[in-house]
Structure 1
Amino acid sequence: MYLIQIFLPMYGNRGEKFPASYYREVRDRLVDQYGGITAYTRSPAQGMWQPEEGKTVQDDLVIYEVMVEELDRTWWDACKTSLEQQFQQEAVIIRAQAIYLL
């Protein structure tokens, strides 16, 4: 089994907040495809990275998680491309971890 985590920015590159409908669309797509979702939306997570030395960039993030039996790379690659276009990002982070339910 895999835990898939999707990190979505709350703000665009010019500081504009993305509409709530963007997140509903993603949520609904994941629920339709995988039957459930966990959403971390109450307190945004904060991501920080350094694209170049001496410069730090910060994002407020919404994190969605789904658990899947098998990893469908084709579906996730298409989902990633779609999210990058919708959220106008060079890259949206989607990561998969092998997990065991206890």
Structure 2
Amino acid sequence: MHLVQILLPRADNTGRPFGREDFDRVKEDLASRFDGVTAYLQAPAEGQWQDGEQSSTDEIVIFEVMVDDGANGAPS
């Protein structure tokens, strides 16, 4: 088994926040595909990345699922 983390931004590129229903839809989809999910939605983490000389940040939420080892080690 492997733990897979999915990091999603809390807002789009214009700064408009995604609605709770968007994250609920992702949570339901992951739960049905992987028989369970852990969602960290209330206390967002901060993501940071470099684009050349410029550094950018955003708030993210985290979803975690456990996946079986497949023939290629990836979920089906």
Bucket of the pairwise TM-score, normalised by the shorter protein: 0.7 to 0.9
More helix by share: 1
* 1: CA distance, partners of 2:9 / 2:36: 21
Matched, 1:68 2:67: yes
Per the normalisation by structure 2, the TM-score is 0.87
Matched, 1:59 2:58: yes
**Structure 2: runs of 5+ lacking an equivalent:** none
More strand by share: 2
| Partner residue in 2 for 1:17 | 17
What is the percent sequence identity of the aligned residues? 39
Per the normalisation by structure 1, the TM-score is 0.66
**Structure 1: runs of 5+ lacking an equivalent:** 76-102
Which aligned segments of 4 or more residues in structure 1 are displaced greater than 2 angstroms? Answer: none
Aligned residues: 72
* 2: CA distance, partners of 1:28 / 1:39: 10
